[in-house]
Structures are given as structure tokens and as C-alpha cells.
């Protein structure tokens, strides 16, 4: 019932306004009577759907750090029984206990919205938001009028939002109406492992994924489309490709890892492509998939910024660019930066095959390097930087 109800609350404006004002008012009244717990740190990832991304990287560093010895680490999950955490405890998101814990917490660490579409923080809470990627599609107040994306009424109460570049910091500050000093160019903690990846780690991850060592690996990771929804108002992935043709053209050389966006309902039947296409949409670690692969194919997803750290070919398959631009809007034209663009499936397959040529491969990597130099300025030290920001931030908000 909850999975069906939530999309209607998000996308039905009158219902969402009722939820926002009643919930926000109640929690801000309740916090007047709630005492802050000085060593309670609350984490969530993608609203409680996952145990990954930058919040997990920060958490893993904290539990090893003497600076955070004795802290109460709490992870909020939609389905706590699905996850195991080595240190700390779990709570169920969107319950009264969840909101009470949030009000008590000394620190919040999230990559999306810990406030669940409402507007509140604890009296002495330091709020670190790592977000979940560098923006290419319009966000927040920049989203075009009439777009079907969820737009929160929350005024974004974070104390720090981490960014990988000045471009990212400036974009976030405008999109979420944030003071300039809130957006800190310190890197994304989740990407430190990408900066450290080498050939040995790549081989290890391929073995773990059961990939034939003789094959090359394509990671295909399209973003979601707000205009592709089912009857329950849930986004779905409508694949624009024929994997039968891909298998015919590439099957002797490549394996495809298909990673659907977490917003998209999984409705794919890939049984007939078994051994060539592997659905890794629910795989816990996107970093593992990126490191294991040789080529990324994507469109308007923030994965392109992260993958650029690996300095491997990135192909742009923006087959519906005009429609996406009209519906959502984008900050820049990705087609000008990477090989591909608004091309057909046939042209995409020819691009992939062309990478077997050493000169073409080198040119593709050079484009990735230029893209990375422009949009990813800090990587490799982000987790250390985040812990320092949290320590200073909690000290600045004395109880």
C-alpha cells in the first residue's frame, strides 16, 4: 500500500501540500521538547532504499576513526531487514521513531532527502548532504514549469552540501537557493575508490561478477524519464535498444551490464539474452560495476561524471535529447563533450566496434579526460574531507 500511496503524495500537489504543512508544523513543534543526543549520527541513502553511496563511505571511515569512538551510528532503511551493518543499529524510515531519532540526532548524513519532503532539522543537528551525483539535468527551482518531476517545498536546511567541482557547487547553490558557503568543493566520498582503482581490482570485481575474462565489458546505465510512468505513477524503463541486434554484433567480444536508474520500476525480461546481457540494477555497488567495465554508455545520468575519474571511454546515447530537454531541461549539452549524441542504435554499435581501433580508443579517452578536467576537480580525498567537515560542523553547533 505504501509503495502505491507515496507516488500519489509526491506528484499530487494538493495532497503533497497538505502532507508538507501538517508534517512540518508537527515536527517543528515536537522538537521543542526533544533533547539532542550528542553522539547520535543518523544516516540514510536514497531515502532509505540502499546502504551505499557517499553516506556509506563516510560511515565506514567513521567506525574506524578514533575521533568517532563511542558514537551511536543509526541507519534508516525502508526495509531494515534487508541490510546488515557492521556497527550501530537500524531503524525503519518514515515511522514516528524515525522522525524522533532525526530530531535527536547530532548529525545527519544523507545523499538525498532525510527530511522526507518535509522541512525540519533538530535543534543542534549538523546536516551534511553529499547528494547523489553531479547535475546535468535541471534540478530544484531550475526544473521547467509543467515538468512531472517531484519538487519539494523544503527549503533545504543542510549546513554543507559536498561537490566535486565549482560547476557543481554553483549549480546546486542556484537550484536549491543555498548560500554560496554551503556548497563545499571537497569531492564525493563514494568516488575515492574510483581514484584508487587499478587493473588488479578490475579483474577481482569481474571474477566476483562471474564475467568471462576474455570478454570486454560495457556498462549501460540510462537515467529515468519522468514522462515514462505506469498506472501507479511509477517511472518505468522503456529500453530504446534491441539487445538481439547487440548480441549479433558484439556478442563475440562484449558482455553488457545493464543498470537501470533506482527511480525506475524493474520490468525487463532479459532471459533470452542470458550470457550476454546481465541485469545489475539491484547490485549493491555501482562502483564495482564501473570499475569492472571497460566502456560506459549513458545519456543524462550523473554516472558520467563519476566514471570519468576512471579515464575510460564514455559514449553518449542521447537518442531522445530534444524530448528530454523540452521536458526536464539540462544545464549544458552533453553531446558536445562525449562521442555519440543523438544517434541511432546502429551508429552506437558502430562507435563501440570502432573502439577496437587504437587511435579511435585513444581519442575517446582524450575526450573523457577533457570532460573530467572540466567537471571533476576533487577526487581521492573526499571521505577524509567529509569527516573533517563533520567534526568542525558539530563543534560549531554547541549543545
Evaluate whether 95 touches 127 at the Cβ level (below 8 Å): no
Within 13 A of 170's CA, how many CA atoms are on the CB side? 5
- The three cell numbers of residue 4 are 502505491
- Each residue's pLDDT tens digit, 112-143: 889 998 999 999 999 999 999 899 999 888 88
CATH of residue 243: 3.40.50.12580
Return the SS3 of 72. Answer: strand
Give 47's contacts (C-beta < 8 A, 6+ positions apart). Answer: 78, 93, 112, 113, 116
- For residues 54-60, give the mean pLDDT: 98
CA–CA gap between residue 56 and residue 138 (Å, rounded): 26
Classify 103 as helix, strand or coil.
helix
CA distance 172 to 161: 8
**Do residues 98 and 180 share a domain?**
yes
Taking only the tens place, the pLDDT of each residue in 190-238 is 999 999 999 999 999 999 999 998 999 999 999 866 655 555 555 566 7
Are residues 173 and 225 located together in one domain of the fold? Answer: no
Which uninterrupted H or E stretch holds 91?
A: strand 89-92
CA–CA distance, 160 with 241 (Å, rounded to integer): 40
Q: What is the pLDDT of residues 62-94, one digit of tens each?
A: 999 999 999 999 999 999 999 999 999 999 999
Contact residues for 287 (Cβ-Cβ < 8 A; gap 6+) = 190, 191, 193, 194
- 235 in Cβ contact with 228 (< 8 Å): yes
Same domain, 174 and 270: no
pLDDT at position 143: 84
Mean pLDDT check: name the lowest of 9-23, 77-91, 288-302, 317-331.
9-23
Q: How far is CA 163 from CA 157, 221, 346, 377, 384, in A?
A: 16, 22, 36, 9, 14
pLDDT of residue 153: 58
d(C-alpha 139, C-alpha 147), whole Å: 11
Give residue 258's domain range.
195-375
Query: Mean pLDDT of all residues in the chain?
Result: 90
Same domain, 264 and 355: yes
Beta strands 314-317 and 72-77 are unpaired
Over residues 43-56, the mean pLDDT reads 94
Q: At residue 148, does pLDDT exceed 60?
A: no
Judgement on whether residues 159 and 275 belong to the same structural domain of the protein:
no
Question: pLDDT by residue (tens digit) across 149-181?
Answer: 555 556 678 999 999 999 999 999 999 999 989
Looking at residue 147, what is its pLDDT? 57
- 288 in Cβ contact with 249 (< 8 Å): no
Q: Which helix (H) or strand (E) holds 306?
A: helix 303-307
Specify whether the CB–CB gap between 171 and 135 falls below 8 A: yes
Question: Locate cell 558484439: which residue?
Answer: 250
- The yes-or-no verdict on residue 283 having pLDDT over 80 is no
Q: What is the pLDDT of residue 90?
A: 98
Band of pLDDT at residue 16, cut at 50, 70 and 90: confident
Task: Give residue 42's pLDDT band: very low, low, confident or very high (50, 70, 90).
Answer: very high
Q: Does position 347 have pLDDT exceeding 80, yes or no? A: yes
Same domain assignment for residues 183 and 296: no
CATH of residue 155's domain is 3.40.50.11820
CA trace torsion 207, 213, 216, 220 (10° rounding):
-20
Same structural domain, 154 and 115: yes
Residues 293 and 321 in one domain: yes
Average pLDDT over residues 260-272: 67
CB 300 within 8 Å of CB 221: no
Average pLDDT rounded to a whole number, residues 351-370: 97
Residue among 48, 51, 50, 68 at smallest CA distance from 386? 68
Domain count of the chain? 2
* 265, 31 Cβ separation under 8 angstroms: no
Residue 261 pLDDT grade (very low, low, confident, very high; cuts 50, 70, 90): low
Cβ-Cβ contacts under 8 Å for 64 (sequence gap 6 or more): none
Arithmetic mean of pLDDT, 274-289: 88
> Is the same domain home to 345 and 389?
no
**Better-predicted residue by pLDDT, 347 or 20:** 347
Same domain, 126 and 181: yes
Q: Are residues 153 and 258 in the same domain?
A: no
**292 and 362 part of one domain:** yes
Q: Specify the pLDDT at position 40.
A: 98
Amino acid at each position: 500500500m505504501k509503495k502505491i500511496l507515496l507516488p500519489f503524495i509526491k506528484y499530487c500537489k494538493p495532497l503533497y501540500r497538505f502532507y508538507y504543512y501538517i508534517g512540518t508544523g508537527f515536527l517543528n513543534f515536537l522538537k521543542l521538547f526533544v533533547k539532542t543526543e550528542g553522539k547520535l549520527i543518523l544516516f540514510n541513502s536514497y531515502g532509505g532504499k540502499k546502504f551505499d553511496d557517499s553516506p556509506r563511505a563516510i560511515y565506514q571511515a567513521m567506525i574506524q576513526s578514533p575521533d568517532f569512538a563511542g558514537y551511536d551510528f543509526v541507519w534508516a532503511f525502508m526495509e531494515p531487514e534487508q541490510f546488515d551493518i557492521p556497527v550501530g543499529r537500524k531503524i525503519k524510515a518514515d515511522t514516528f521513531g524515525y522522525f524522533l531519532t532525526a530530531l535527536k540526532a547530532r548529525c545527519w548524513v544523507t545523499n538525498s532527502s532525510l527530511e522526507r519532503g518535509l522541512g525540519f532539522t533538530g535543534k543542534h543537528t549538523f546536516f551534511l548532504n553529499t547528494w547523489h551525483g553531479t547535475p546535468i539535468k535541471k534540478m530544484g527551482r531550475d526544473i521547467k514549469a509543467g515538468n512531472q518531476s517531484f519538487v519539494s517545498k523544503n527549503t533545504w536546511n543542510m549546513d554543507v552540501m559536498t561537490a566535486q567541482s565549482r560547476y557543481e557547487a554553483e549549480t546546486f547553490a542556484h537550484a536549491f537557493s543555498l548560500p554560496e558557503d554551503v556548497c563545499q568543493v571537497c569531492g564525493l566520498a563514494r568516488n575515492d575508490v574510483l581514484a584508487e582503482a587499478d587493473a588488479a581490482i578490475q579483474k577481482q570485481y569481474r571474477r566476483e561478477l562471474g564475467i568471462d575474462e576474455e570478454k570486454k565489458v560495457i556498462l549501460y546505465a540510462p537515467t529515468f524519464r519522468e514522462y515514462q510512468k505506469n498506472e501507479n505513477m511509477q517511472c518505468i524503463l522503456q529500453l530504446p535498444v534491441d539487445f538481439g541486434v547487440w548480441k549479433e554484433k558484439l556478442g563475440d567480444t562484449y558482455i553488457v551490464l545493464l543498470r537501470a536508474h533506482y527511480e525506475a520500476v524493474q520490468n525487463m525480461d532479459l532471459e533470452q539474452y542470458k550470457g550476454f546481457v546481465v541485469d545489475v540494477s539491484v547490485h549493491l555497488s555501482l562502483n564495482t560495476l564501473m570499475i569492472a567495465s571497460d566502456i560506459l554508455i549513458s545519456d543524462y545520468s550523473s554516472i558520467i561524471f563519476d566514471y570519468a575519474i576512471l579515464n575510460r571511454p564514455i559514449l553518449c546515447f542521447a537518442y531522445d535529447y530534444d524530448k528530454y530537454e523540452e521536458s526536464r531541461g539540462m544545464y549544458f549539452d552533453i553531446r558536445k563533450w562525449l562521442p555519440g549524441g543523438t544517434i541511432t542504435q546502429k551508429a552506437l554499435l558502430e562507435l563501440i566496434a570502432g573502439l577496437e581501433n587504437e587511435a579511435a580508443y585513444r581519442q575517446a579517452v582524450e575526450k573523457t579526460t577533457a570532460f573530467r578536467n572540466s567537471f571533476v576537480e576533487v577526487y581521492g580525498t573526499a571521505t577524509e574531507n567529509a569527516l573533517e567537515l563533520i567534526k568542525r560542523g558539530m563543534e560549531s553547533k554547541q549543545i
